């Protein structure tokens, strides 16, 4: 019959999962591993950068579309403010 106690007894004390193990590798192999991990990280960061630049471009397009209507809105605000001042005077 299987129990959780069986797992405890089969693993050495302190090493319950494989990630807790330490492996010794040569310095050259470690350098290659670090280089590969750095290359992967740079690729991930470049992908994120491209995504963010795409979002920036979309925002700039939206701003460009809305910008022409902005001066009209400012004029309307001034008219409303002027009317509000005339009513209170």
Q: What does the CA dihedral 64, 69, 74, 77 come to, rounded to 10 degrees?
A: -140
Residue 36 lies in domain: 25-88
Domain membership of residue 41 (yes or no) is yes
Q: How many domains does the chain have?
A: 1
Residue 17 domain flag = no
pLDDT at 72 over 60: yes
Provide the whole-model pTM.
Answer: 0.49
Please check the confidence at residue 27 and state whether its pLDDT lies above 90.
yes
Residue 82 has pLDDT above 80, yes or no: no
Q: Is residue 81 a part of any domain in this protein?
A: yes
Residue 33 lies in a domain: yes
Residue 55 in domain: yes
| Residue 62 belongs to a domain | yes
**Does any domain span residue 5?**
no
Residue 16 in contact with residue 10, Cβ under 8 Å?
A: no
Higher-pLDDT residue of 66, 42: 42
Residue 35 domain-assigned (yes or no): yes
Decide: 24 and 18 in contact? Cβ < 8 Å.
no
Average pLDDT of the chain to the nearest whole number: 79
Q: What is the DSSP letter of 17?
A: S
């Amino acid at each position: 019959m299987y129990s959780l106690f069986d797992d405890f007894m089969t693993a050495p004390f302190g090493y319950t999962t494989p990630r807790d193990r330490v492996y010794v590798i040569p310095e050259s192999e470690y350098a290659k591993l670090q280089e590969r991990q750095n290359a992967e990280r740079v690729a991930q960061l470049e992908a994120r950068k491209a995504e963010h630049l795409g979002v920036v471009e979309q925002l700039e397009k939206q701003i460009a579309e809305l910008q022409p209507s902005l001066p009209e809105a400012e004029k309307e605000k001034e008219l409303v403010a002027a009317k509000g001042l005339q009513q209170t005077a």
